[in-house]
Structure 1
Amino acid sequence: MRPEGCIEGVLGRIREIESRFGIERRPAGEAVSFEEVLSKAQGDLGDPSLPEGDVDVPSSVAERLERWEPELRRLCDRYGVDPDLARAVMRHESGGREDAVSSAGAIGLMQLMPGTARALGVDPRDPVRNLEGGIKYLAQLLERYGGDVERALAAYNAGAGRVDAHGGVPPIPETQRYVRNVLALYRKYDRGGSM
């Protein structure tokens, strides 16, 4: 396909999306008044198709983590992982957000990379399977490193190859911070701290 065909296809798709969402194009340089923008926004706020009343959307990290607590405990029991450790990882990775996606491409509650999720046999976009994959992966790493939590956490963040190459936590500032932060959360939960 010629580049012009690709560009036209993309522009066509953009026009389709704009049309679907009621986005109007204006000629370059044409001014839009503040009142017009405000009126449009207020009209959108009054849209009767939007749900009213109580909507079950957790607003804080603690509420999001609490929502997943029964499933987390069940999976930790299944894979032999300390729930306080899994909770600390989940909190640090995503704050309990099932829709979290990192700039590196990690997905969901436990921030699984697509390749890791495939290797674990889970769909990272399914929150329950994502949680299971993350806990299963933690269990594998803990076993690999003989229960050494620091090395397991470093491998969760930077990959087992880097941990093996350095014989421990690699000298990567992000990974070193990650291990420190997750261990601090782990100790907090282990002492009965709140989520």
Structure 2
Amino acid sequence: MVGAALLRAGWKQACSRATIYPSRHIPNALGQQRWATQISPNYKGLNRPAHAEEEKPIEKPAPVVYEGVMADTLRRVKLLSLTTCCCSVVGGPFVTFFTSPELSVIAKGGLASLVVLLSASTTGALHWFASPYVRKLTWTPGTDQMQIEVLSWMATPLQRTVNISDVRTPETQRPAVTFEANGNLYYVDKDTFPHAELLKKLLRK
């Protein structure tokens, strides 16, 4: 009996220490929870991060790419002209001196020089005419810079960076020239150019 009495006394003491909230406190607790969710977005009752609404990425405008229709053909023609010129310079004097024994040395030298001069002048004229041809042009809308690719005299790609603000009307009588920038002449095909607004800037008067 003594043990049972001690167990009852211990049970009553434990129950007296526990805090029992009456039912009238439940609405207040729910109201405090709602108030906390409105004040702080980091409230633990919310199952979302502080910045749940992700910012939409800014879409960059697609770059404008122009490619010359005759770019590959022109490169092949220049390579052929350079090959012919090299063969004329190396083989012209040899062929002239050993295939015409009846000619004098002076005549042979003049003939060899003429062959070399004709071949070199043809190659130089081709480069002079085709050097402004733009093989590729890249421009990102909203920027002032363009990347322009032309051919060097060795028929290798030559990259240049040109500002649209530096574009000028060409003051030359050369054919196949569209605009001028930083002392260099350029030609683009108006009919196949993909961006009308940029073309107007290149054709400014």
Shorter-chain TM-score tier = under 0.3
Tell which structure's C-alpha radius of gyration is larger: 2
- Where relative contact order (Cα < 8 A, 6+ residues apart) is larger, the structure is 2
* TM-score of the pair, normalised by structure 1: 0.22
* TM-score of the pair, normalised by structure 2: 0.21
